[in-house]
Chains A and B, each alone.
Chain A
Amino acid sequence: MAGLELLSDQGYRLDGRKATELRKLQARMGVFTQADGSAYLEQGNTKALAVVYGPHEMRGSRSRTLHDRAVINCQYSMATFSTAERKRRPHGDRKSTEMSLHLKQTFEAAVMTQLYPRSQIDIYVKILQSDGGNYSVCVNAATLAVIDAGIPMRDYVCACTVGFVDETPLADLCYAEESGGVSSLALALLPRGGQIALLQMDARLHQDHLETLIEAAMTACKGVSKVLDEVVRQHLQEASVLTGE
């Protein structure tokens, strides 16, 4: 049997998108009231929940305290029911530890931590349903949650994965594409300044193609940022109506 054709001659992908098109992105902020900030975000079939606590004083080992800025603590997890087969995923397995670390790095670059010395910000992200691009969805959800918590950031952090098929970069890969042997790259961007918060790739790709791929990723991230911006504005409007201002 022939494998999947990731990009048809007519330029359509498996799910009917064109190469540069993103999946449908929907989000809501302030889904929980007890946490300081929270957000729910869907990017196609990948769904994530992000919750932010803080900034608050250091908990646990005080030795990690930084005197000039806040410590960011990230925890990533996947719901047991997030994939086609139910699977128990204990905390601290290597994949989620790595992902937590990546998230931490991303947000350390974006959050203005120097405003809160000797304090801590907790970001918890859970993947409720996974269909590719977990990292990017987590970053996007967490951004909204951080904004919801009212923690100042330099800019939105928007992330997107891109893959490279038939000399064409594909934006926002779904699971079928990710597992189809595509070299994929995840990029987190601060769109206004065009600064890259995180760039991760662990597949083989030729150097010559890297630039076009990053270019495509940045365009995709800017697309994401537009949607996030709208969500935030929408949320603010709703909130201001509620408070009667």
Chain B
Amino acid sequence: MLKSKTFVKKTRSGGVMKVVREHYLRDDIWCGSEVCTECKQESTVLQKDACMESSLCSYPHYLVPDTNVVLHQIDILEDPVICNVIILQTVLQEVRHRSAPVYKRLKDIIHEKEKHFYTFTNEHHRDTFIEREPGESANDRNDRAIRVAVKWYSQHLKTFESDTDGLKVVLLTNDQGNKQKAQDNGLLVYKCEEYVKSLIANPELVDRLALSSDDKSEITSSKVLFPEHFPLSRIQTGIKSGSFLQGTFRASRDNYLEATVFVQGEGEDSTEVLIQGLQNLNRAVHQDVVAVQLLPRSEWVAPSSVVLQDEGTGKDDEDAEEEEGNLRTAAAEAARKPTGKVVGVIKRNWRPFCGMLNVSQIKESTRHLFTPADRRIPRIRIETRQASTLAGQRIMVAIDGWPKDSRYPNGHFVRSLGGAGEKETEEEVLLLEHDVPHQAFSQAVLSFLPKMPWAITPEDMMKREDLRPLTVCSVDPPGCTDIDDALHCRELENGNLEVGVHIADVSHFIRPGNALDKEAANRGTTVYLCGKRIDMVPELLSSNLCSLRSNVDRLAFSCIWEINHKAEILKTRFTKSVINSKASLTYAEAQMRIDDTNKNDDITKSLRGLNKLAKILKRQRIEKGALTLSSLEVRFHMDSETHDPIDLQTKELMETNSMVEEFMLLANISVAQKIYDEFPECALLRKHPAPPPSNYDILIKAAKSKEVEVHTDSAKALADSLDAAKVDGFPYFNTLLRILATRCMMQAVYFCSGMDSDFHHYGLASPIYTHFTSPIRRYADIIVHRLLAVAIGADTTYPDLMDKHKQSALCNNLNYRHKMSQYAQRASVAFHTQLFFKSRGILNEEGFILFVRKNAIIVLIPKFGLEGTVFFDSKDKVSPNIVFEEEGPTLSVEQHKFHIFDKVKVTISLDDSNIQHQKIRMALIEPVVRKTKTELLTVKKNKTPKKQQKLC
């Protein structure tokens, strides 16, 4: 049957266009149910005995949620209890338009076989397609379409009633009108809440219900607390006319009544608008995109330096107003900043938040406040009946809405992560808070993995160079299972050396555009936590098929040079290959082989050759001005059973570390040059911009205090002066100085060559650089592999690879993921340090002053690579006499004067008074500044400003 669809559409330029489309209605769309004998379907999704025990529906039934139920209650649908659900095409389309994340989650559920979700293409079905009636809104039509489809299903299934003990279809909707109409049509219809509450087996599910808008009024008092948000149309005109500004809302970490809105202007010109006071904040939440209106200049204020934490008891109390009064301290005219108020929210950026429950004082109460771990997020009011079990646990909560008469946003419980302070829970929390995707890979992703048992096929062999006879070996840290690089070195007949770097050929397994590729692109990088790894690609690839383990044939992408004994490159060649690694060594093992003069086998000879060349290469690189920076990295010795840290050690570097690194750098640079030559517009490169001179101020000042001069005009000058910087009797000085220098650096970033003109890598002193050598753990490398494969004609290209805008967007995601993974890594180290000190009790250690601040010193303890702040003033004690001098900088506390690099002795202990934010407490014991015990406060360790730099 043929129908013509006619509708008008507004074009981008504002004109109105008529669109006529054909619409074919089919009679071959099947119902997908096991019981049906009428439909000629090949496979069925919906089960015959669809049993979800419910007190409302005592018969087996299929659920049909409407669009709003899917959008708001996706948490419920994801629960394993809910299965045998029919997702109508109307619903799927609407969800797709309204929320991309929910759409993705829904699709993942549909793919999962155990959930028995069936997509019914009702819009193309002859009996369920309906036309929009005159005067009917699009939403009403869709609601009607859903009802018609449900009706069709119930009639369709009725024919088989005899052998299915009354299988029925149940419509779930939260819309009162829709429900009424459905009942009039004789359909079985329930509100989502009613239904979920009726589920016998799973009473906990109720807490995961999101609050729908008509319930909100019950929860809050009638008093209006916030001004109304403007409608979107008004905001848009306001932004166009310039009376409103659009920007990202960033709440302050220290003061819940203050926030800034970052307004992105044209080019570099962006401003920050200060927002102060609950009324002006007007229900915006951290990271929302908001519209702000500037206040008249006379009402501008300065950011307050007060630390305020929301301590409200859950009532819509008046305390806030009092506190707001405190903020308005008279500020100098100069310190005042543009101040505004939020008039509307353009886009909410709510995600589920981790945190803990503040159990209400009233015992029977089901409404509780939830305190997120991130201090920038306001507290959320949730409803739960399991408060007593949830207390002391880390839980996740999603915000549902923030009505104008409620002091706090309303939310619902999503899931529990486990007891606070437990290792698994805390790990989960830090992954979630750093936005690290760490769920198990979905079925859709896993379906693109090669089938086991996997073997190299003859076709693979045809296209690849057979390098299996070569003596290839890999050198990695101990316990490494994702080996992505291997090396070889051999003497050629003409006396030169042939050196090969062989990288796991991940792009052979991950084909562009499929679900596996998309997942990897989204994850961006593998995240290494202490004792745990969050893989970018499924384990089958990362630890098996791609890992270049010893004595198995593996696919590789090889970069082979002919090098003479002066380490000059004569020839470079890239090829896809098959290798068979002869040994997987650790750094220490490799070092032993090199040092052991009795050993003379092929592997050892190869290693010695590599080592010799690496030394020359390194020297050359340093001569060119590459920096050797230092940052303390610690390694935990884990108890093999409890996985608790039992010892802490700073990482040791061996010659072999630098040997491997040197060749990886060489490969990366060679590849970068090749892909840039081949694709000047769309090569994915990595750059490290030179820091602005002002960044070095602190380094120069610090060095000067020890009468050492540091030149920062160029990387080379810096490297040289760092090498020369030595103070007698202070062997650690050089390392400290390098740590400081590291903090001055900028972040290295990925970029697309067509979008930028500055390619220089400052830290490595290379004009061009990219990442090629770790495709198992970095997505950037996969793209580089693809580019290189196209460049040498080994693989095919695809449109997105050549699109510089798409690639630039990808780079942004990769940069973000890398940054987050580094933060997560540090947070993990911090957490394990806490665990370590928890078991150790109080320790006294020597340390050095790294920075001097106005009221505190920052101390570094080299033994643990631990950094902490020692404060000299505090809220409730009389503060000692402190004098801070900018020049120097020095800090005099009573009689003692602290300089940068001073040696101090501190005592370290764990402060667990606040269970959500445990921290390492550091207190000074030597030199003694006061007779009385100095009152010392610390800042959470992972909050200390660390700007570490990963150079490669």
- Chain A interface residues toward B at CB < 8 A: 1-2, 5, 8-10, 12, 14-17, 21, 23-24, 44-45, 84-85, 131, 174, 176, 204, 206-208
Among the listed A1, A5, A10, A15, which residue makes an inter-chain contact with B21, where contact means beta carbons less than 8 Å apart?
A15
Residues 6-36 of B at the A interface (beta carbon under 8 Å)? 17-26
Nearest CB of chain B from residue A131's CB, rounded to whole Å: 7
Bound complex: CA A17 to CA B29 (Å): 11
Bound complex: CA A84 to CA B15 (Å): 12
CB contacts (< 8 Å) of A10 on chain B: these are 89, 119, 121
User: For residue A44, which residue of chain B has the nearest CB?
Assistant: B22
Pair B96/A2 contact, Cβ less than 8 Å: yes
CB contacts (< 8 Å) of A131 on chain B: these are 20, 22
What are 14 A-B contacts defined by CB distance under 8 Å? Answer: A1-B97, A2-B96, A2-B100, A8-B89, A8-B121, A15-B24, A16-B23, A16-B24, A21-B24, A24-B22, A45-B20, A176-B21, A206-B796, A206-B797
Bound complex: CA A23 to CA B23 (Å): 10
Bound complex: CA A174 to CA B107 (Å): 27
User: For residue A17, which residue of chain B has the nearest CB?
Assistant: B24
Pair B97/A2 contact, Cβ less than 8 Å: yes
Is residue B110 within 8 Å, beta carbon to beta carbon, of the partner chain? Answer: yes
CB contacts (< 8 Å) of A23 on chain B: these are 22
CB contacts (< 8 Å) of A208 on chain B: these are 796
User: For residue A181, which residue of chain B has the nearest CB?
Assistant: B799
- Chain B interface residues toward A at CB < 8 A: 2, 4, 17-26, 89, 93, 96-97, 100, 103, 107, 110, 119, 121, 123-124, 796-799
Beyond known contacts A2-B100, A24-B22, A174-B22: 9 more, CB 8 A cutoff: A2-B97, A2-B103, A9-B119, A10-B119, A16-B23, A16-B24, A16-B26, A16-B124, A84-B20
Nearest CB of chain B from residue A211's CB, rounded to whole Å: 13
Among the listed B25, B93, B797, B799, which residue makes an inter-chain contact with A16, where contact means beta carbons less than 8 Å apart?
B25
Interface core residue of B21, B89, B107 (most chain A CB under 10 Å): B21
Nearest CB of chain B from residue A20's CB, rounded to whole Å: 13
Bound complex: CA A1 to CA B797 (Å): 28
Pair A84/B124 contact, Cβ less than 8 Å: no
Bound complex: CA A24 to CA B4 (Å): 12
Bound complex: CA A23 to CA B22 (Å): 9
Pair B4/A84 contact, Cβ less than 8 Å: no
Pair A14/B2 contact, Cβ less than 8 Å: no
User: For residue B5, which residue of chain A has the nearest CB?
Assistant: A15
CB contacts (< 8 Å) of B20 on chain A: these are 45, 84, 131
Nearest CB of chain A from residue B8's CB, rounded to whole Å: 10
CB contacts (< 8 Å) of B97 on chain A: these are 1-2
Bound complex: CA A173 to CA B796 (Å): 26
CB contacts (< 8 Å) of A45 on chain B: these are 4, 20-22
User: For residue A183, which residue of chain B has the nearest CB?
Assistant: B799
CB contacts (< 8 Å) of A21 on chain B: these are 24
Nearest CB of chain A from residue B85's CB, rounded to whole Å: 15
Pair B798/A206 contact, Cβ less than 8 Å: yes
User: For residue A206, which residue of chain B has the nearest CB?
Assistant: B796
CB contacts (< 8 Å) of A5 on chain B: these are 93, 96
Nearest CB of chain A from residue B26's CB, rounded to whole Å: 6
Pair A84/B96 contact, Cβ less than 8 Å: no
CB contacts (< 8 Å) of A44 on chain B: these are 22
Nearest CB of chain A from residue B360's CB, rounded to whole Å: 41
Nearest CB of chain B from residue A132's CB, rounded to whole Å: 10
Among the listed A9, A14, A84, which residue makes an inter-chain contact with B18, where contact means beta carbons less than 8 Å apart?
A84
Bound complex: CA A131 to CA B20 (Å): 9
User: For residue B32, which residue of chain A has the nearest CB?
Assistant: A10
Among the listed B17, B89, B93, which residue makes an inter-chain contact with A85, where contact means beta carbons less than 8 Å apart?
B17
Among the listed A2, A12, A24, which residue makes an inter-chain contact with B121, where contact means beta carbons less than 8 Å apart?
A12
CB contacts (< 8 Å) of B24 on chain A: these are 15-17, 21, 24
Pair B25/A174 contact, Cβ less than 8 Å: no
User: For residue B118, which residue of chain A has the nearest CB?
Assistant: A10
Pair B107/A9 contact, Cβ less than 8 Å: yes
Interface core residue of A8, A23, A207 (most chain B CB under 10 Å): A8
User: For residue A46, which residue of chain B has the nearest CB?
Assistant: B22
Nearest CB of chain B from residue A115's CB, rounded to whole Å: 40
Pair A204/B799 contact, Cβ less than 8 Å: yes
CB contacts (< 8 Å) of A2 on chain B: these are 96-97, 100, 103
Nearest CB of chain A from residue B594's CB, rounded to whole Å: 46
Bound complex: CA A207 to CA B790 (Å): 13
Nearest CB of chain B from residue A153's CB, rounded to whole Å: 30
CB contacts (< 8 Å) of B799 on chain A: these are 204
Nearest CB of chain A from residue B23's CB, rounded to whole Å: 5
Bound complex: CA A15 to CA B121 (Å): 12
Nearest CB of chain A from residue B118's CB, rounded to whole Å: 10
CB contacts (< 8 Å) of A174 on chain B: these are 21-22
Closest 4 pairs (CB-CB, A-B)? A16-B124, A16-B24, A15-B22, A44-B22
User: For residue B107, which residue of chain A has the nearest CB?
Assistant: A9
User: For residue B123, which residue of chain A has the nearest CB?
Assistant: A16
Bound complex: CA A1 to CA B99 (Å): 9
Interface core residue of A9, A16, A24, A208 (most chain B CB under 10 Å): A16
Bound complex: CA A23 to CA B26 (Å): 13
CB contacts (< 8 Å) of B2 on chain A: these are 24
Interface core residue of B119, B123, B799 (most chain A CB under 10 Å): B799
CB contacts (< 8 Å) of B17 on chain A: these are 84-85
Given contact pairs A44-B22, A45-B22, A84-B18, A12 touches B110 in the complex (Cβ within 8 A): no
User: For residue A24, which residue of chain B has the nearest CB?
Assistant: B2
CB contacts (< 8 Å) of B93 on chain A: these are 5
User: For residue B796, which residue of chain A has the nearest CB?
Assistant: A206
CB contacts (< 8 Å) of A17 on chain B: these are 24
Bound complex: CA A1 to CA B94 (Å): 11
CB contacts (< 8 Å) of A176 on chain B: these are 21
User: For residue A85, which residue of chain B has the nearest CB?
Assistant: B17
Bound complex: CA A21 to CA B26 (Å): 12
Pair B797/A14 contact, Cβ less than 8 Å: no
Nearest CB of chain A from residue B318's CB, rounded to whole Å: 44
Bound complex: CA A211 to CA B93 (Å): 33
CB contacts (< 8 Å) of A84 on chain B: these are 17-20
Pair B124/A207 contact, Cβ less than 8 Å: no
Bound complex: CA A84 to CA B21 (Å): 11
Bound complex: CA A174 to CA B364 (Å): 63
CB contacts (< 8 Å) of A16 on chain B: these are 23-26, 123-124
Nearest CB of chain B from residue A207's CB, rounded to whole Å: 7
CB contacts (< 8 Å) of A14 on chain B: these are 21
Bound complex: CA A54 to CA B20 (Å): 37
Bound complex: CA A106 to CA B751 (Å): 48
Bound complex: CA A14 to CA B123 (Å): 10
User: For residue B797, which residue of chain A has the nearest CB?
Assistant: A206
CB contacts (< 8 Å) of B23 on chain A: these are 15-16
Nearest CB of chain A from residue B226's CB, rounded to whole Å: 29
CB contacts (< 8 Å) of A15 on chain B: these are 21-24
Nearest CB of chain B from residue A89's CB, rounded to whole Å: 18
CB contacts (< 8 Å) of B107 on chain A: these are 9
CB contacts (< 8 Å) of B22 on chain A: these are 15, 23-24, 44-45, 131, 174
CB contacts (< 8 Å) of A8 on chain B: these are 89, 121
Nearest CB of chain A from residue B71's CB, rounded to whole Å: 14
CB contacts (< 8 Å) of A9 on chain B: these are 107, 110, 119
Bound complex: CA A207 to CA B24 (Å): 33
Nearest CB of chain A from residue B176's CB, rounded to whole Å: 28
Bound complex: CA A9 to CA B2 (Å): 22
User: For residue B103, which residue of chain A has the nearest CB?
Assistant: A2
Nearest CB of chain A from residue B462's CB, rounded to whole Å: 16
CB contacts (< 8 Å) of B110 on chain A: these are 9
Nearest CB of chain B from residue A8's CB, rounded to whole Å: 7
User: For residue B3, which residue of chain A has the nearest CB?
Assistant: A16
Nearest CB of chain A from residue B760's CB, rounded to whole Å: 33
Bound complex: CA A206 to CA B89 (Å): 32
Bound complex: CA A14 to CA B20 (Å): 12
Bound complex: CA A23 to CA B89 (Å): 22
Bound complex: CA A21 to CA B20 (Å): 20
User: For residue A174, which residue of chain B has the nearest CB?
Assistant: B22
Nearest CB of chain B from residue A209's CB, rounded to whole Å: 9
Bound complex: CA A13 to CA B124 (Å): 10
